[in-house]
C-alpha cells in the first residue's frame, strides 16, 4: 500500500485525514490511541435511525443519497468513532448484473431469479461500468462534505463468495446447498460467475474512492462455510483480483466471519487489514498473520451487558493487541438491532481512554 498523500484515480487525502488514527493504523504506524469504528454503527439500535426508517423502505434509504448520508454522518458523530462507513448494502451491485433483488419485510433479501446452472451464469450481465450505482457515489460525496474533516470515510462491497452465495441461494442460507452444488459439479460455471462478480466489484470500489472514500472494506460474511482447500481453489483467486484492482494507496480491510481456519489464506488473497471475529484470540490470530494490520474483535453480544462488563471486555481485546501498531478496534460482526446505545457509546469511550498512549 502506498503511503503517499495522493495517488491516481481520484484518491485524495488531506493532511487531517492522512494523519487520522484510523488511516495511521491501516499503515501500521504509531497512533495516540487505538482507533475504533463499528460495523453497522448506523442501524436499528438507534432511535434516530428507526425514525428515518419509518419513512422509507430499506432500499429507498440506500437509493436516496441524502438519506443514506444523513444516517452515516449522524452515527459517526453521535458515537465519537474514528471512521464512518457509508450506509448501503452489499447486494446493491447485483442489480446491474440482472438479478431481481427485493428486501422482503421480515425475511431479509430475496433474489427472485437465482443462479443454479451454467445457463443461469450465462445470463448474468457483465457490468461494463458501474454508473447504475451513482446513488451510492452521490451518498459518498455528500457524506464526505458533511463529515468532520478528520474522520475517514470507508466504502465497501461484498466479497465474491458471499455475493455468489446470495445469488445461488436466492437469499440467506445455513448450508449453502445450491452454492456448493454449482461449485463442486460445474467448476467452470462457478469460476465464470465469480469472475463476473470480481470484475464488477473492483470498479464499484474505485468509484466509491473517486467519490470521496478514504478506505474500503470487503465483507466476506459467509466464507466461513468453506474448508481451506475449497477456499484456495474456488475463492482466493477471485478475492485477490478484487483487492489487486483497488486504486493504489487505498487501504483495503478484508473481513470475514467464522474464518479461524482461513486467516492465512485470507491474508494471501490480500488486504492491508485483516478483520477478525470474536471466535479467535486476537493475539494468537495476529501472530499467525504476521506483518499485516488487524481489525476486531469484540463480541457484539457483550454490548447487551453493562458498561462495566463492556469496559472489562474491551480491555481484554486491547491487552491482547498490546499497543502494537496496526490495530483497529471493532466488533467481530455488526451491532445487533436491540443493542443499548449507551453501551455502544461506553465502548467507544473505553477504547479511547484505555488505549491512550
DSSP letter for 274, please: E
**Catalytic residue among 40, 144, 199, 313, which?**
40
Q: What is the 3-state secondary structure (H, E, C) of 131-145?
A: HHHHHHHHHHHHHHH
Active-site residue, 40 included: yes
**Catalytic residue among 53, 240, 281, 320, which?**
53
Active-site residue, 137 included: no
**Catalytic residue among 19, 27, 89, 281, which?**
89
**Catalytic residue among 166, 176, 231, 234, which?**
166
**Catalytic residue among 44, 181, 281, 311, which?**
44
Order of strands across the sheet with 84-85? 84-85, 153-158, 215-220, 252-256, 273-275, 293-295, 327-328
Strands (E), the chain: 84-85, 101-104, 108-111, 153-158, 215-220, 252-256, 273-275, 293-295, 327-328
The whole-angstrom distance between residue 2's C-alpha and the CA centroid of its chain comes to 21
Beta-carbon contacts of 107 under 8 Å, excluding residues fewer than 6 positions away, are 171
- Exposed e or buried b per residue across 89-124, where buried means at least 16 C-beta atoms within 10 angstroms of its C-beta: bbbbbbbbbebebeeeeeeebebeebbbeeebbeeb
Active-site residue, 44 included: yes
User: What residues does 57 pair with on adjacent strands?
Assistant: none
SS3 282: helix
Active-site residue, 24 included: no
Distance CA 84, CA 76 (A): 5
User: What residues does 328 pair with on adjacent strands?
Assistant: 295
Q: Are 59 and 327 in contact (CB under 8 A)?
A: no
Count of H helices and E strands in the chain? 16, 9
SS3 57: coil
β-bridge pairing 215-220 and 293-295: unpaired
Tell me the catalytic residues: 40, 44, 53, 89, 166
Amino acid at each position: 500500500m502506498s503511503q503517499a498523500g495522493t495517488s491516481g484515480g481520484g484518491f485524495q487525502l488531506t493532511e487531517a485525514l492522512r494523519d487520522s488514527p484510523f488511516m495511521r493504523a491501516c499503515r501500521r504506524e504509531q497512533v495516540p490511541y487505538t482507533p475504533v469504528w463499528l460495523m453497522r454503527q448506523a442501524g436499528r439500535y438507534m432511535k434516530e435511525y428507526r425514525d428515518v426508517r419509518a419513512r422509507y423502505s430499506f432500499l429507498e434509504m440506500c437509493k436516496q443519497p441524502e438519506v443514506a448520508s444523513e444516517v452515516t454522518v449522524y452515527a459517526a458523530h453521535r458515537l465519537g468513532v474514528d471512521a464512518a462507513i457509508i450506509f448501503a448494502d452489499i447486494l446493491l451491485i447485483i442489480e446491474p448484473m440482472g438479478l431481481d433483488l427485493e428486501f422482503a419485510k421480515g425475511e431479509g433479501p430475496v433474489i427472485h431469479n437465482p443462479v443454479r446452472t451454467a445457463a443461469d451464469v450465462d445470463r448474468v450481465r457483465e457490468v461494463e461500468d458501474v454508473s447504475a450505482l451513482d446513488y451510492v457515489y452521490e451518498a459518498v460525496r455528500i457524506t464526505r462534505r458533511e463529515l468532520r474533516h478528520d474522520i475517514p470515510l470507508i466504502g465497501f462491497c461484498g466479497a465474491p463468495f458471499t455475493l455468489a452465495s446470495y445469488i445461488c441461494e436466492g437469499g440467506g442460507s445455513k448450508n449453502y446447498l445450491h452454492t456448493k452444488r454449482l461449485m463442486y459439479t460445474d467448476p467452470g460455471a462457478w469460476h465464470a460467475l465469480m469472475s463476473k462478480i470480481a470484475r464488477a466489484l473492483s470498479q464499484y470500489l474505485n468509484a466509491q474512492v473517486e467519490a470521496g472514500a478514504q478506505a474500503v472494506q470487503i465483507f466476506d460474511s459467509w466464507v466461513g462455510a468453506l474448508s481451506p482447500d475449497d477456499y484456495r481453489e474456488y475463492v482466493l483467486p477471485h478475492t485477490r483480483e478484487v483487492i489487486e484492482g483497488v486504486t493504489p494507496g487505498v487501504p483495503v480491510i478484508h473481513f470475514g466471519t467464522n474464518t479461524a481456519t482461513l486467516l492465512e489464506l485470507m491474508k494471501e488473497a490480500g488486504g492491508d487489514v485483516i478483520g477478525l471475529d470474536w471466535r479467535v484470540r486476537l493475539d494468537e490470530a495476529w501472530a499467525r498473520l504476521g506483518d499485516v494490520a488487524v481489525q476486531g474483535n469484540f463480541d457484539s453480544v457483550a454490548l447487551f451487558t453493562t458498561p462495566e462488563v463492556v469496559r472489562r471486555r474491551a480491555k481484554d481485546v486491547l491487552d491482547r493487541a498490546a499497543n502494537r501498531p496496526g490495530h483497529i478496534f471493532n466488533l467481530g460482526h455488526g451491532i445487533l438491532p436491540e443493542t443499548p446505545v449507551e453501551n455502544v457509546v461506553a465502548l467507544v469511550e473505553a477504547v479511547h481512554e484505555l488505549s491512550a498512549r
